[in-house]
Amino acid sequence: MRALDGKVAIVTGASSGIGRASAKLFAHEGAKVIVAARRAAELDAVVDEITRARGQAVALAGDVKDEAFAGALVELALERFGRLDVAFNNAGALGPMAPTPAIDVREWEDTLRTNLTSAFLLAKYQIPAMQRQGRGSIVFTSTFVGHTVGFPNLAAYAASKAGLLGLTQALAVELGAHGIRVNALMPGGTDTPMGRIFANSPEALDHVRRLHAMKRIASPDEIAQSALYLASDASSFTTGTALLVDGGISIHRG
Query: What's the CA gap between 26 and 139, in Å, rounded?
Result: 13
Query: What's the CA gap between 76 and 83, in Å, rounded?
Result: 10
Provide CB contacts within 8 A for 227, sequence distance 6+.
Answer: 18, 22, 25, 88, 90, 139, 185
Hey, which residues are catalytic here?
157
Count the helix, strand and coil residues of the chain and give each as a percent rounded to the nearest 5: 50, 15, 35
C-alpha 202 chain-centroid distance: 27
Query: What's the CA gap between 55 and 220, in Å, rounded?
Result: 20
C-alpha 9 chain-centroid distance: 12
Query: What's the CA gap between 125 and 23, in Å, rounded?
Result: 20
